[in-house]
Chain A
Amino acid sequence: MKLYDYELSGNCYKIRLFLSILNKSFETQTVDFYPGQEHKSPPMLALNPLGQLPIIEDEGKVLRDAQAILTYLAAKYDETGEWYPLQDPDRLGEVAQWLAFADGITGTASAARLHDGLFYDLDVEAARAGAHRLFRILDEHLWFAEQAGQSWICSGNHPTIADIACFPYVILSEEGGISRQDYPAIRRWCDRVKRIKGFIGMSGVFPTSAAA
Chain B
Amino acid sequence: MNENLQHWYPVASSNDLPLRHVYQGQLWGRELAVWRADDGFVNVWENRCLHRGVRLSIGLNEGRELRCLYHGWRYANRTAGCTYIPAHPADAPARTICNNTYHAIEAHGLVWSSVEPMGDFAVPEALEGQETLALRPIPVKAAPELALKHAATYRFSADGSAANDTSVEAKEGGYVLLSADGAQMMLFVQPIDADRSVLRGVLINPTEDHLALLRYHNSGLSALRDVIESDAAKLPTPAAIEVSFSKVDADLAAMPERAKSGPKAELRVTVAQKWLASDGVMGFRLESLNEQLPTVQPGAHIDVHMPNGMSRQYSLTNGPGEQDHYTIGVKLEPKSRGGSECMHNAVQTGDVLAISAPRANFPLRRDATQTVLVAGGIGITPMLAMAQTLKAQNLPFQLHYFAQSEAHLSFRPILDDLGENLITHLGLSPDETGVALRNALASYDYAHHLYICGPGPMLEATRKIAGDQGWPEEAVHFEYFKNVNTIDDSSSFEVALARSALTLHVPAGKSILDVLQENGIETPSSCEQGACGTCLATVIEGEPDHQDVYLSDSEKASNSKILTCVSRSKSKRLVLDI
Contact = CB atoms under 8 A, between A and B. Distances in A.
Contact of A210 (B13, B18, B394): B394
Given A140-B218, A182-B139, A212 B20 contact: yes
Contacts of B61: 209
B34 to A, nearest CB: 10
A212 B19 contact: yes
Interface in B54-109: 58, 60-63, 67, 69
B23 interface: yes
Contacts, number: 51
Given A184-B23, A209-B20, A209-B67, A144 B60 contact: no
Interface in B156-183: none
Interface centre among A140, A180, A207 (most CB of B within 10 A): A140
Contacts of B16: 184, 188
- Interface size range on A against B: 20 to 34
A144 B215 CA distance: 8
Interface in B210-252: 211, 214-215, 218, 222
Nearest to B218: A140
Contacts of B462: none
- The B contact surface, by secondary structure, is mixed
Contacts of B394: 210
Interface centre among B16, B136, B211, B218 (most CB of A within 10 A): B136
A210 B64 CA distance: 12
Contacts of A208: 20, 60
Nearest to A188: B21
A191 B69 CA distance: 14
A208 B20 CA distance: 9
A191 B20 contact: yes
Nearest to B210: A147
Contacts of B38: 212
A209 B38 CA distance: 13
B565 to A, nearest CB: 43
A68 to B, nearest CB: 32
A147 B60 contact: no
A188 B62 contact: no
Nearest to B59: A209
Contacts of B136: 140, 143-144
B15 interface: yes
A181 B211 contact: no
B15 A146 contact: yes
Interface string A148-185: 10000000000000000000000000000000111010
A144 B15 CA distance: 12
A181 B26 CA distance: 9
A187 B218 CA distance: 19
Given A144-B136, A188-B21, A208-B60, 18 more contacts: A143-B136, A147-B214, A181-B25, A182-B139, A184-B12, A184-B13, A184-B16, A184-B23, A187-B24, A188-B18, A207-B60, A208-B20, A209-B60, A209-B67, A211-B19, A211-B20, A212-B20, A212-B63
28 contacts: A140-B218, A144-B214, A144-B218, A146-B15, A148-B211, A180-B24, A181-B24, A181-B26, A182-B139, A184-B13, A184-B16, A184-B23, A184-B24, A184-B137, A187-B21, A187-B23, A191-B21, A206-B69, A208-B20, A209-B60, A209-B61, A209-B63, A209-B67, A210-B20, A210-B62, A210-B394, A212-B38, A212-B63
